[in-house]
Amino acid sequence: MSPTTDAQNPADRPAQARIGLLKCGTIRTDLIPRHGDYPELFGALLGHHPLSITTYDAEHGELPRSPGECDGWLVSGSANSVYDDEAWIDATGRFLSEIVAAGVPLVAVCFGHQLLAQALGGEVRRSERGWGVGVHRYDVTADLTGWPGGDPPAHLDLLAMHQDQVTRLPEGATVLASSEHCPVAAYSLGERVLAVQAHPEFTPELTRELIEGRIERIGSQRAEAALAELDRPIHGDVVADWFAAVLTN
């Protein structure tokens, strides 16, 4: 199927790689005018890199014809769980398997991180530890696949917003980052596949409004603690460089 939208690259900078964004959900609609939706968020995150982003509305059945339709692929978050009985989730999972089999670069975030694991034989469940929200610190536990140069940090501080987690990795996957709350915070499959549970594309301002709108679901104590930490520095820029390096590998 044809993509819904073509996003954003500054007109004075020629694109060197066409990246397909499989959009698996929508940011809360009342927040989009202020913060943008996933295409705008990923466009801003990767805006300093020679990439153009083409969006496919996977949530509404819009998938590419083949993995070779783009030079690399991004998979967004979603309000759904990957184990929900939805035809589009199954279809998107099958397409992710095709991307991996074809050896095309792939970066999967939050829901995407979970869907990729499930599609390849791993397991995803609702976390017994409750919501992961706010700024979380993830210890780097292995060489970071595709790290763009220099020594990677000992930890990554990133914005999180999730209830589900990967509880069993697919065969051949390597855990790259971990925390007590989220043991599988990032993993890789070879040199061209990277999955991250956190949301590097989120901003503290967007995260604040998301938390404030979910206080009853998250729990007031956890939500207030997360809100209090949103001014902590995060590694969004270095993770953007990492994503770009993997996507253009």
110 is catalytic: yes
Q: Exposed, middle or buried: residue 11 (CB in 10 Å: 0-12, 13-18, 19+)?
A: exposed
199 is catalytic: yes
Task: Please provide the size of the chain in residues.
Answer: 249
Whose CA is closest to 196, among 92, 110, 80? 110
Can you tell me the distance from the alpha carbon of 214 to that of 209, in angstroms, rounded to the nearest whole number? 9
Can you tell me the distance from the alpha carbon of 249 to that of 245, in angstroms, rounded to the nearest whole number? 6
Catalytic choice (59, 181, 201, 235)? 201
Catalytic choice (35, 110, 113, 182)? 110
Which segments of 15-148 does DSSP mark as H helices, in order? 32-35, 38-45, 87-102, 111-119
Helix, strand or coil, per DSSP, at residue 138? strand
Six-digit token string for 41: 């968020």
Residues known to be catalytic: 110, 199, 201
